[in-house]
Each structure stands twice: as structure tokens, then as C-alpha cells.
Structure 1
Amino acid sequence: MDKKSVGTYFSFFNEVAIIEQLSRAMLEARLPNGLIAPHFTVLNHLTRLGDGKTPLDMARAFQVPKTSMTHTLSGLERHGLIEMRPHPKDGRSKQVWLTEEGRKVRERTIDALGPDFQKIAARFPVEQIENGLPLLESVRAYLDKMRDT
């Protein structure tokens, strides 16, 4: 690959990383006190993919050490947003389940982002965002698949 192409790919991922940092700050400003972005991402993950994941499954999905995931989950449990239940097939393991309050916190947080999204929409119409989604989704899916090889 030539140097210009490498630079283009680097610039693409650099922009994605900066967008992630800025959007994380925006999200954390809307979260209830005591919660941070990793807490929200767990709530979102369980909402999207379903309850009953083990902490190890989640650590792998988030590509973090199990100890980091355990710490994040314990914070969510303290806030009453998840429940840890014994795994029915493996007595040594637990499963993570969203509570009704966890679902509500996720929804309220998304609602609280509405004014921020309204400001963004004034500059970037929803059609532009929709047009960009397929590329981002495709790159994410490819990178997700790559990590297993």
C-alpha cells in the first residue's frame, strides 16, 4: 500500500477516534451522577443483544480484561441497573440481566441527548447521517470479524 493510502486510512480512523472522544463526553454529561460511558455501553449492549451474558462473554465483546468488566458490572449492580444471577448450567458462573430501572436509565439518557442531536441535525441533516451509516457499520463488522482471526 502506498504512503498516501496509509495516510488516508490513518486519517479516517483518527477522525473516528476523535468523534468517539467527543461523543463520549457528550454522553457522560447526560448520564445520571455516578455513571460513566462504560456503564451506559453495557446497558446498551444488553438492550441490543439480550440479557443473560456472562461477565467473561461481555469482557470479550468489549475487549477489556475480565477484572475491568467485573468492576463496571459491580457499579451497575450498586445502582440497581443490573442483576447478577447464577448461571443455570455452570454453578461457578453468573449471568447479567438488566433491571427495569436499567432499561429506563438507558432510555432517559438517549432522550436527554435529544437537544444535542438537535444541534447536530442543524448542521448535518438526518439523510447525511443515514448515508454515512452503511460505511461505518461495514467497517465495524469487518473489524469485529478481524479480531477473531
Structure 2
Amino acid sequence: MTQDEARAAEVFGFFNEIGIINQLSSAMFAKSLPDGVHPSHFSILNHLSRLGDGKSPVRIAAAMQVTKNTMTHSLRVLADRDFIVVRPDPADGRAKLVFLTDAGRAFRDDAIVRVSQEFGHVIGADQLAIMERVRDDLSELRKHLDNNR
């Protein structure tokens, strides 16, 4: 195996492991959410909670890497549940801005507790130690990838 092939295998293997962890954890997370609310919907609430609300649907769609139509549907689901409100942008009457409601913030916080309970059955001290060791490095890698997409 050449150096380039070994590097390619290492990079692929790393991201493959992350992808599998994402699939497994997303399936577990989905079980803890009420019917009709998907992990992708939670991701929008989490994004707005972490980075601040008052963002345009197009900006949120870009952050989530989904189409505008997909985002429109997801925002409709969240608005129907009173987790968000979509208001006109005061700077541009044609544009819209998305804001979390108190119910949306509470739902996000409750979902985090529920998923922690769901994961509590499979995350022991050994797994928690691994997570603590790699979390900061994964955060740095995420920031790097986000800045270079």
C-alpha cells in the first residue's frame, strides 16, 4: 500500500466510524422524540439555541446543508408545534426571520434530558471517558471542516 493509499484509508476509516456513530446515535435519539418530530427538527432548535435565533430560513438551511424547500417544510412542522415563530425581517419586508419560542426552548432542553436517559442505558464510565477525551478534538475538526466547506 502506498503512502497516499494508507492516508486515504485512514481518512475514510475515521469518517466512516463517525458516520456509523451518527447513524446509531440518531436512531436512539429519534426514539426519544415525540411522533412527528425528527432529529433534523431538533437540530434546527438546537442550532437556534446555541447560535442565537433571528436567522433567515436560507441561512439556517445553509447551516443544516439542506434545500430551501426542505427547510420550509421543517420550519412549518416546528411552527405548527409552536416551537418557533417566523416573522418578517424589519430590515427587508420580503425576508423572514426565525425565532425560538419559550415552548421551543423548553422542548429542546427536555429532549436533551430524554436522550441522556436513553443513552444512559449504554454509556458507562468507560464510554464517557472516551467521549470526554475526544470531544474537544472533534469540535476542532468540525470547526475546520465548517470553515472549509
% identical aligned pairs: 41
Partner of 2:100: 98
Partner of 1:18: 20
Which deviations, in whole Å up to 9, do the C-alpha atoms of 1:19-57 show, x marking residues without a partner?
Answer: 111111111100112100111000100100011000011
Counterpart of 2:8 (choices 6, 9, 14) is 6
Q: Structure 2: 5+ residue runs without aligned partners?
A: none
- Give TM-score, length-normalised by structure 1: 0.93
Partner of 2:45: 43
Q: Are 1:146 and 2:120 an aligned pair?
A: no
- Report the more deviating stretch, 114-123 or 72-81: 114-123
Distance in structure 1 (CA, Å) of the matches to 2:127 and 2:79: 38
The number of aligned residues is 147
Pairing of 1:99-118 with structure 2 (within 5 A): 99-118=101-120
CA RMSD of aligned residues (A): 1.3
For 2:85, the aligned partner's letter is E
Task: Report deviation, 1:100.
Answer: 0.8
Task: Report deviation, 1:62.
Answer: 1.2
Distance in structure 2 (CA, Å) of the matches to 1:85 and 1:55: 11
Task: Report deviation, 1:64.
Answer: 1.2
SS of residue matched to 1:121: coil
Partner of 1:73: 75
Distance in structure 2 (CA, Å) of the matches to 1:47 and 1:65: 21
For 2:83, the aligned partner's letter is L
Which deviations, in whole Å up to 9, do the C-alpha atoms of 1:66-95 show, x marking residues without a partner?
Answer: 111111101100111100011010000110
CA contact (8 A) 2:28 2:119 kept: no
Distance in structure 1 (CA, Å) of the matches to 2:11 and 2:69: 33
Partner of 1:119: 121
Task: Report deviation, 1:123.
Answer: 5.3
For 2:78, the aligned partner's letter is L
Q: Are 1:30 and 2:22 an aligned pair?
A: no
Q: Structure 1: 5+ residue runs without aligned partners?
A: none
For 1:67, the aligned partner's letter is N
Partner of 1:52: 54
Partner of 2:133: 131
- Give TM-score, length-normalised by structure 2: 0.93
Which deviations, in whole Å up to 9, do the C-alpha atoms of 1:103-133 show, x marking residues without a partner?
Answer: 1111111111222332333153433211101
